[in-house]
Amino acid sequence: MKLALLQGNRFTPWHLAAFRHLRENPDITAFRAESEIQRHFESQGADALDFPIEPIHFDTHAGFWIERVKNRFLARYGNREAQILPFHERLRGFDLLQSWELFTDWSGEAAEARRKWDIPLAVMVWDNIPFNMEHSAYRRDIKAHVRKQADRFLVHTERSRRMLRLEGVEDARIVKIAPGVDTHLFSPGTPDRARFGFDAEDLVLLFVGWLLPRKGIDFLLMALRELVDDPKLAGRRLRLWMVGAGPGRDRVEALVRRLGLEQVCVFGGSAPYTEMPAYFRVADVFVLPSIATPQWQEQFGMSLIEAMASGVPVVSTLSGAIPEIVGDAGLLCQPNDFVALHGALRRLLTDPSARQELAQRGRTHAESCFSLEGYAENLSAIYEEMLRG
């Protein structure tokens, strides 16, 4: 089978893992756009692809030079979105197409190839907000085209399934499968705290992700200030280890200074994906305090299952798909609420037995529900069913 894999500029180590374990070793070609985001993922190991890469380009960086300059100007000053140069002709000859989200240029090109050459098309959907990304006629037209042409929509949560139903996709074309994590790589182990500059007695809170407001880090810092002042934690040295990159660090550092947490917070930067288990093992508690915005709410939270698989107790929020992912294997509190977050963290930080129980529960949950082998097997079965027609 010749599979065209369209992930835009989202070729990440965790997205790619399952495609290396598909049955029958299909011939996979990745259609990838270069961007700052993609370069960030490459620094984490996403450049180690086991299959060929076909480059595709935004109209602000390729094409006739006059159009390129005009598009750059409009993108900067005219609120115009950069668009992908058409590439659907290059998809001819593939046996199956796999794209992502209804609203992307990549799915639009895949839908056009599906229409012209009758190539089966699967669209992986993480989005969970009905009628999202319909701010322009251009995006609305892409979504309508993809809804009409796609053979299967692969969702990871019930929330995404219900979103697709509201947008008019029939149940018969929606398949729910759980993503997976390598539970051999992400597994409990002896923490090497000295490597990262932590003492054995430190209580380490770990945050992994983009330093963006939607990840709720502001509320985490407010809760941390209260934890530092909490009489029940008097005499204990708390550390918040923020592992991540991207825009927003200056804003976060300013809030750290305003709250007087300079001696408590540690910025870990980004790290290669294969090194992340060592980071998780150092933590006493993993926390993902995501909040919702009008355009986004947590779609899955891969770091949640990585933490659970690593045997780290999880604290997160009742935002987006998080309750579906964590279930009763973590503590969940209201989003946008530093008081609730303080309470959940305080409960675990002051009770080692509660941390141990939750860690064991999370590991069991990750192994039973989110194995990489199970994910690859389910993807393989779906592709084979699509090829049979």
Per-residue H/E/C for 240-304: EEEECCCCCHHHHHHHHHHCCCCCCEEEEECCCHHHHHHHHHHCCEEEECCCCECCECCCCCHHH
* Those residues with Cβ within 8 angstroms of residue 49's Cβ, 6 or more apart along the chain or in another chain: 11, 16, 30
Asked if residue 108 lies in contact with residue 114, where contact means CB atoms within 8 angstroms, the answer is: no
- Using CA atoms, how far residue 146 sits from 2, 110, 121, 170, in Å, is 21, 8, 9, 13
Break the chain into its structural domains and give their ranges.
2-180+371-388, 193-369
- Virtual CA dihedral for 69, 72, 78, 80, nearest 10 degrees? 120
- Using CA atoms, how far residue 297 sits from 13, 159, 304, in Å, is 22, 11, 15
pLDDT at site 321: 93
pTM higher than 0.85: yes
Asked if residue 287 lies in contact with residue 335, where contact means CB atoms within 8 angstroms, the answer is: no
Asked if residue 375 lies in contact with residue 18, where contact means CB atoms within 8 angstroms, the answer is: yes
Nearest to 300 by CA among 182, 132, 147, 158: 158
- CB count within 10 Å of CB 251 equals 14
Is 2-180+371-388 a domain of CATH 3.40.50.2000?
yes
Same fold, 2-180+371-388 and 193-369: yes
The owner of tokens 């999202």 is 132
Instruction: Give tens-digit pLDDT for 255-307.
Output: 999 999 999 999 998 888 889 999 999 999 999 999 998 888 998 889 999 99
pLDDT at site 52: 86
* CATH code of domain 193-369: 3.40.50.2000
Sheet containing strand 53-56, edge to edge, reads 53-56, 27-33, 2-8, 96-100, 121-125, 152-155, 174-176
Parts of the chain with a pLDDT under 70:
9-10, 35-49
